[in-house]
Amino acid sequence: MNVMSGGGGDHLLLTRILRQARARRSASDIPGFTETFGVTGARGITQAQTAQLAGVSRRWYSALESGRRANYSDAFLSAVRRILDLDPDEWDIVHRIARGRAPDSASVSLLDRQVPPALLALVEQSPTWGIYLSDHRWDVLAYNEKVQEYFPWMTGRINVVEWVLTWPAARVQLVNWQEDWALPTIAALRVNAEQWPHDVRLQEVIETVRSDARARRLWNASNLPTVSYPPSSSPRRLYLPRRGGREFAVRIVALTPMEMPSCRLIAITPAELIPAE
């Protein structure tokens, strides 16, 4: 159905994505912007400018950004994508919410699937960096010994977001817990909740998270990031066991195994491997 989805906080998520995309957009990177509006040194573009570049009225674009129901065409949405340079995750969310199309979750039921032997060996036998594999619910499917140097709790079938968001130990170990760890994690959880609204196990994870008072307050935070994966360009700090209170900076590299496209292969690497810019 070609209408805006009306359930939950979908419209808020769409609004946040589009507003942040406009704010970060460099006008000089948009074909035709200078010719239309002249030279500007400020970063970010307005609703009116976005609408004009997309060939619609400001009122029509504002309706989209506000999350109002309307008959938005694919051509219009594609123009918005191009103008705002939405990344694949952002585009998937915007298009799905605006067009009212739910993802096909029937084919995605990985909790009961075996990890392919070669992928399992890659994870468990990698000796250098901490690696783990989790599904779209953040249930850990496989991990190596090295990752336990960072996260000793990673034993058995643990859930990553439940640990990050609800365990008191995580709030101690993860430096700047709220800004660097909790808010990005909740943002990713909300994206997956929208993608798999009928996944019973994922709903259980969300219920566990929302039952925690601090995590529940952050659930509707206005400054949630829009990306659904940890950016490797932004190091995060944490305390490591048995290291005398010293902070360590790490980069989290997130990969998608093609055999299990709803899963994430996460590598934890020391931040100093990449020279600071």
Residue 184 lies in a domain: yes
Residue 188 lies in a domain: yes
Q: Say yes or no: 89 and 137 in one domain.
A: no
Tell me how many domains the chain contains.
Answer: 2
CATH code at 20? 1.10.260
Confidence at residue 252, expressed as pLDDT on a 0 to 100 scale = 94
Q: Say yes or no: 91 and 152 in one domain.
A: no
In the predicted model, what is the mean pLDDT of residues 43-65? 90
pLDDT tops 80 at residue 44: yes
Element (H, E) at 264: strand 264-270
Q: Say yes or no: 123 and 30 in one domain.
A: no
Q: Say yes or no: 147 and 242 in one domain.
A: yes
Confidence at residue 156, expressed as pLDDT on a 0 to 100 scale = 61
Q: Say yes or no: 121 and 95 in one domain.
A: no
Q: Say yes or no: 191 and 265 in one domain.
A: yes
Confidence at residue 1, expressed as pLDDT on a 0 to 100 scale = 41
pLDDT band for 265, please (50, 70, 90 cuts): very high
Between 272 and 273, name the one with better pLDDT: 272
Q: Say yes or no: 171 and 231 in one domain.
A: yes
Whole-number average pLDDT of the chain: 83
Cα separation, 16 vs 14, whole angstroms: 5
Q: Say yes or no: 133 and 194 in one domain.
A: yes
Residue 145 lies in a domain: yes
- Which of 38-42, 201-205, 219-223 is predicted with the least confidence, judged by mean pLDDT? 38-42
- CB neighbours of residue 114 within 10 Å: 9
- Which of 18-27, 105-114, 115-124, 173-182 is predicted with the least confidence, judged by mean pLDDT? 105-114
Q: Say yes or no: 79 and 121 in one domain.
A: no
Q: Say yes or no: 202 and 228 in one domain.
A: yes
Nearest to 267 by CA among 130, 76, 75, 175: 130
Residue 14 lies in a domain: yes
HSE of 13, CA atoms in CB hemisphere, 13 A: 31
Nearest to 20 by CA among 223, 235, 231, 230: 223
Confidence at residue 109, expressed as pLDDT on a 0 to 100 scale = 38
Q: Say yes or no: 21 and 77 in one domain.
A: yes
Quote the pTM value: 0.61
pLDDT band for 62, please (50, 70, 90 cuts): very high
Residue 87 lies in a domain: yes
Confidence at residue 101, expressed as pLDDT on a 0 to 100 scale = 58
Amino acid symbol at 204: E
Domain boundary among 99, 125, 141: 99
pLDDT band for 134, please (50, 70, 90 cuts): very high
Confidence at residue 128, expressed as pLDDT on a 0 to 100 scale = 92
> Domain span at residue 63?
10-99
Residue 109 lies in a domain: no
pLDDT tops 70 at residue 32: no
Confidence at residue 107, expressed as pLDDT on a 0 to 100 scale = 33
CATH code at 166? 3.30.450.180
Cα separation, 205 vs 40, whole angstroms: 46
The rounded percent of the chain whose pLDDT value lies above 70 is: 86
In the predicted model, what is the mean pLDDT of residues 42-52? 89
Confidence at residue 166, expressed as pLDDT on a 0 to 100 scale = 86
